[in-house]
Amino acid sequence: MNPNDLPPHPEPVVRVRGLTKAYGGRTVVDRLDLDVHAGEVLGLIGANGAGKTTTVEILQGLRRQDAGEVRVLRLDPHHDADRLRPQIGSQLQSSGLPDRLRVGEAVALFAGPHASDGGALLEQFGLAGKRRSPYAGLSGGERQRLFLVLALLNQPRLVILDELTQGLDPAARREVWSAVAQLRDAGTTVLLVTHELDEAEALCERVVAMRDGRVMDQGTPAELVARHAGEVTVRFGLTETDLTTTADALQSLNRLPGVTGVTRERGQVAVRGDRAAIAHVGAWLLGTGRPVPADLRVDVPDLESALLTLLDSDGSDASDQKGAA
Amino acid sequence: MTATDTLVPPTTDSDRAAATRPGRHPSTTRRLLGTELRLLTRDTITFTFVLAFPVISMLIIGGVFGTEPDEAFPVNPSHWYVASYFTVVIGSTGLIMLPVHMASYRERGVLRRFAASGFPRWSFALAELAIGLGAIAVAGPLLLAIAAPVYGIPDIEDPLRVVAGVVAGSVAFISIGVLLGSVLPSARAAQSVGLMLFFPSFLLGVGGPPPAVMSEPLREVAERLPLALATDAIREPWLGIGDGTGPLIAISVVAVVATALAARRTALS
């Protein structure tokens, strides 16, 4: 993707150029370029060890880079940490609160001079009834929602969420997703670090895929899926009465717009193509005048398929993705 | 949380300024100190150790040697131990309570959360300094209050020097505690190291046998232990068995060095 294709934005909230960080000789972030624009939810995705968490720790000034330029809200995260950190709301991976600290006390502790109404935030995130509950007594989902409240408390200009739903059960994940969706809808700038690709697909307007500390590709989830996840496949069975016309049918399907190939195996037809092919195959089935096959199935590749393809690639195209993410 | 809820996007400086609360907002350090004081009262196990161990030990050992001075004790042995055990409070606060508390916060990512939220680098250490002084201020008088009806409280011969010894000893051991808490990686490590430092110091320098009955090599070691220096700086002017100048200077040097090292090492990470 050419960086010039990105919508013009004079002042990204986060601007990273050539960021490099190594631990004990092992490079974990390798000449990374990254832009996060105001009002967007950007997902930083990749497998464990891709360098995502190190990157966001450097953005918050919790670690110092070995090389490269980092600007967050036009400030240097290391030298301007005291000015920058109050403007960032963050949910850190592997961090907690004292066991005996109560929810209401946590809000009071973290509320700076610019804090919004903590009570309203607790109400909004379903924690109003937990004000007197100690941190140790909260469920996993409640803890993450409390971290979201704390991250938003001081009206941050950038919210960083690192592995927000790690270890949560499906119901708790949905609760947290709903909270992040609220941020997105309100226009808050969010940098979401995750290796849960369904999460990135559901919440992020743009994603940056990392491997070995480098950007493999970037774009909207749909763009990454289109580029890397392979084709859509529509499958359905043909009854024996169709056998005489099977050859004609396959030829007809093969000529449909968006279709790239048709195969038949053990009575099952598989039509491959782009997303438009789904509609055309559907129209073709209706046009036959016969009932819609009961075993009709559509396999649409998702972001996970795209990332797996990217991870399986040799990485030679990573250097082509040097444009700012 | 409902689907109709919306969040106000906090995006501009004017938004932030508009939301500023009227009046003075308590500083981060003050908020942290208030929170830590509340949490200290809920951490019953640790606080009980700091409060109860010196009291129970003092009650036991204070009655072992009677009340008459002899070759081993230049003064009433009970009074010797009452004056001595004041520094057990200081030692247990600095060598056990603070390191375990700080290392536990680091291990669980609490300090990183403070750092990411813009808490000043010094804030937690300053809060712990105040917590340590507070613990000593509560536990010390409590020990004397319990000793009073049992053994009596010995007259303080030179109050100014005793106060100087208490302050220097407290600052020294709180700084040592903050330093240990800053460098030890886990609560378990802090507990192990703290206990290994505390009990030899306690037995040789404070609450064990008097120096007069120790062998020469053991006495040489005991006299140089920081907790023994703090004890001598307090006990000698308290009981009138010396002016405690040498130990006071020595523990003051320890306090300055430990404070400098703790200040250099302290970080919210």
**Strand A232-237 and strand A88-91: pairing?**
unpaired
Please check whether residue B10 lies inside any domain of the structure.
Answer: no
For range B126-144, the mean pLDDT: 88
* Burial environment of residue B219 by CB neighbours within 10 A (0 to 12, 13 to 18, 19 or more): middle
- With both helix axes pointing from N to C terminus, report the angle between B28-42 and A103-110 in degrees, rounded to the nearest 10: 160
At B237 the pLDDT is 95
| Alpha carbons within 13 A on the beta-carbon side of B92 | 24
Please check whether residue B2 lies inside any domain of the structure.
Answer: no
Is the Cβ of A75 closer than 8 Å to some Cβ of chain B?
A: no
Query: CA A236: distance to chain centroid?
Result: 32
| One-letter identity of residue B220 | E
Task: Give the list of residues 6+ apart from residue A309 with CB closer than 8 angstroms, or none.
Answer: A228, A229, A230
**A171 chain-B contacts, CB cut-off 8 A:** none
Please check whether residue B254 lies inside any domain of the structure.
Answer: yes
Please check whether residue B148 lies inside any domain of the structure.
Answer: yes
User: If we measure between CA atoms, which residue out of A185, A108, A187, A197 comes closest to residue A154?
Assistant: A108
Question: Do A150 and A161 contact (CB within 8 A), yes or no?
Answer: no
User: If we measure between CA atoms, which residue out of A303, A281, A104 comes closest to residue A209?
Assistant: A303
- What are the residue ranges in chain A where pLDDT is below 50? 1-4, 6, 317-325
User: Residues of chain B with pLDDT > 90: what percent?
Assistant: 38
Q: ipTM more than 0.85?
A: no
At A187 the pLDDT is 79
Please check whether residue B14 lies inside any domain of the structure.
Answer: no
Write out pLDDT tens, residues A267-289: 789 999 988 899 999 999 898 88
Cβ B118–A175 below 8 Å, yes or no?
A: no
Reading phi first (left if > 0) and then psi (alpha if -120 to 50, else beta), residue A31 is in left
Does residue B9 carry a pLDDT above 70?
no
B 42-101: CB under 8 A from A: 42-43
At A318 the pLDDT is 45
CA A17 to chain B, closest CA, distance in angstroms equals 22
Question: Do B205 and B199 contact (CB within 8 A), yes or no?
Answer: no
Cα–Cα distance measured from residue A270 to residue B79, given in angstroms and rounded to the nearest whole number: 95
**B7 chain-A contacts, CB cut-off 8 A:** 124, 152, 182-183, 185-186, 188
Q: Which residue ranges form the domains of chain A, and what is each CATH number?
A: 3-227+306-321 (3.40.50.300), 231-299 (3.30.70.100)
Cβ B16–A110 below 8 Å, yes or no?
A: no
**A150 chain-B contacts, CB cut-off 8 A:** 117
Q: Which domain holds residue B199?
A: 28-265
For range B186-192, the mean pLDDT: 93
At A42 the pLDDT is 94
Please check whether residue B217 lies inside any domain of the structure.
Answer: yes
Is the Cβ of B23 closer than 8 Å to some Cβ of chain A?
A: no
Residue A261, beta-bridge partner list: A272
Cβ B115–A62 below 8 Å, yes or no?
A: yes
The mean of the pLDDT values for chain B is 85
CA B10 to chain A, closest CA, distance in angstroms equals 5
Write out pLDDT tens, residues B73-132: 888 888 888 988 889 989 999 999 899 989 999 888 899 899 888 888 788 888 888 888
Cα–Cα distance measured from residue A89 to residue A149, given in angstroms and rounded to the nearest whole number: 9
At A46 the pLDDT is 87
Does residue B6 carry a pLDDT above 50?
no
At A283 the pLDDT is 93
Cβ B118–A108 below 8 Å, yes or no?
A: no
At A9 the pLDDT is 52
Does residue B172 carry a pLDDT above 90?
yes
Cβ A101–B8 below 8 Å, yes or no?
A: no
The kind and range of the H/E element at A278 are helix A275-287
Q: Measured between alpha carbons, how far is residue A288 from residues A234, A245, A254, A281, B185 in Å?
A: 16, 11, 15, 11, 71
What's the predicted TM-score (pTM) here? 0.76
Name the token pair of A150: 């704390």
Please check whether residue B131 lies inside any domain of the structure.
Answer: yes
A 102-161: CB under 8 A from B: 105, 108-116, 124-126, 150, 152, 154-157
Reading phi first (left if > 0) and then psi (alpha if -120 to 50, else beta), residue B242 is in left
At A241 the pLDDT is 60
Per-residue confidence band for B230, with pLDDT thresholds at 50, 70 and 90: very high
User: If we measure between CA atoms, which residue out of B243, B91, B239, B254 comes closest to residue B177?
Assistant: B91
**A175 chain-B contacts, CB cut-off 8 A:** 1
Please check whether residue B44 lies inside any domain of the structure.
Answer: yes
Does residue B12 carry a pLDDT above 60?
no
User: If we measure between CA atoms, which residue out of B100, B173, B7, B123 comes closest to residue A112?
Assistant: B123
At B19 the pLDDT is 43
The kind and range of the H/E element at A284 are helix A275-287
Does residue B240 carry a pLDDT above 60?
yes
Task: Give the list of residues 6+ apart from residue A230 with CB closer than 8 angstroms, or none.
Answer: A301, A305, A309
Does residue B235 carry a pLDDT above 80?
yes
| Tally of domains in chain B | 1
DSSP characters over chain B: --TT-------SHHHHHHTPPSSPPPPHHHHHHHHHHHHHHH-HHHHHHHHHHHHHHHHHHTTTS-SS--SS-SS-HHHHHHHHHHHHHHHHIIIIIHHHHHHHHHHTTHHHHHHHTT--TTHHHHHHHHHHHHHHHHHHHHHHHHHHHHH-PPP-S-HHHHHHHHHHHHHHHHHHHHHHHHH--SHHHHHHHHHHHHHHHHHHHTSSS-GGGS-HHHHHHHHHSHHHHHHHHHHHHHHTS---HHHHHHHHHHHHHHHHHHHHH----
Cα–Cα distance measured from residue A80 to residue A72, given in angstroms and rounded to the nearest whole number: 10
